[in-house]
Amino acid sequence: MDTIDSAAADPFLLLDPELWVITSQSGTTRNAMIATFVMPVSIVPDRRRFVAAIATHHLSHQLLQQSEGCALHLITRDQREWVPRFGIPTGRETDKLAEMKTTTLRSGAPILTDALAAFDCRVVRSWSIGDRELYLLELLESRQFRTGNPLRFREMWNLLGADERSQLGELLLRDQQIDRAAIDNWAGEAGDS
């Protein structure tokens, strides 16, 4: 048996989710963010659906509230530099999609044609859970642009340099504080605490 390691100390660390790029557009404002909280939730090939959990303080949340769709992308290790590019700054301060190759499909959200695959989706419904909005997304159409395996969190983390790890670590701590307060506030209002 293995000795106790950090994963055994916190079983949450056993999870190794795919990294997704979520793009959205409302009017002329377009944006992209990184997400791990994206999950397919249908086994029916002609009724593919996903759930995505997006923090309410992100620009992407605002754009999804204003529009009716978004696009989910899987990436490979070749696109690992997209993680700090889309996952650290907010689109409120910079156009994260400048210089990226994009097209559009039915939803109107930017489709990154250098990604591994794109899933163009319509927002069916959403629910607030305090810190995040849960979006039920219906697949409109999908495209695979290259071959390879989807990049997952652990591989991405091992590929990062020390500076990027420290930047992501700081972002995580900041977001944890925002999310904790939002969850407690929401639970208090809902009488769940």
Ligand X SMILES: Cc1cc2nc3c(=O)[nH]c(=O)nc-3n(C[C@H](O)[C@H](O)[C@H](O)COP(=O)(O)O)c2cc1C
The verdict on 80 binding ligand X (CB under 6 A) reads no
Q: Which residue is nearest to ligand X (CB)?
A: 87
Query: Residue 137 contacts by C-beta under 8 Å, 6 or more apart in sequence?
Result: 49, 50, 51, 52, 70, 72, 121, 122, 123, 124
Residue of 50, 69, 91, 137 that binds ligand X (CB under 6 A): 91
Tell me, residue by residue from 16 to 45, as one string, x for binding to ligand X by CB under 6 A and - for no binding. Answer: ---x-----------x-xxxxx--------
Beta strand 110-112 with 102-104 is antiparallel
By CB atoms closer than 10 A (0-12, 13-18, 19+), residue 153 is: middle
Note whether 131 and 183 are within 8 A (CB).
yes
Q: Rule CB under 6 A: is residue 65 a binding residue for ligand X?
A: no
- Please choose, out of 52-60, 69-77, 119-127, 142-150, the segment that lies near ligand X by the rule CB under 6 A: 52-60
- With contacts defined by CB under 6 A, name the span among 1-9, 65-73, 89-97, 104-112 that binds ligand X: 89-97
Residue (of 119, 102, 109) closest to 42 by Cα position? 119
User: Hunting for tokens 């290259």 — which residue is that?
Assistant: 146
Q: 90 or 103: whose CB is closer to ligand X?
A: 90
Chain residues that interact with ligand X, rule: CB under 6 A: 19, 31, 33-37, 53-55, 58-60, 83, 87-91, 168
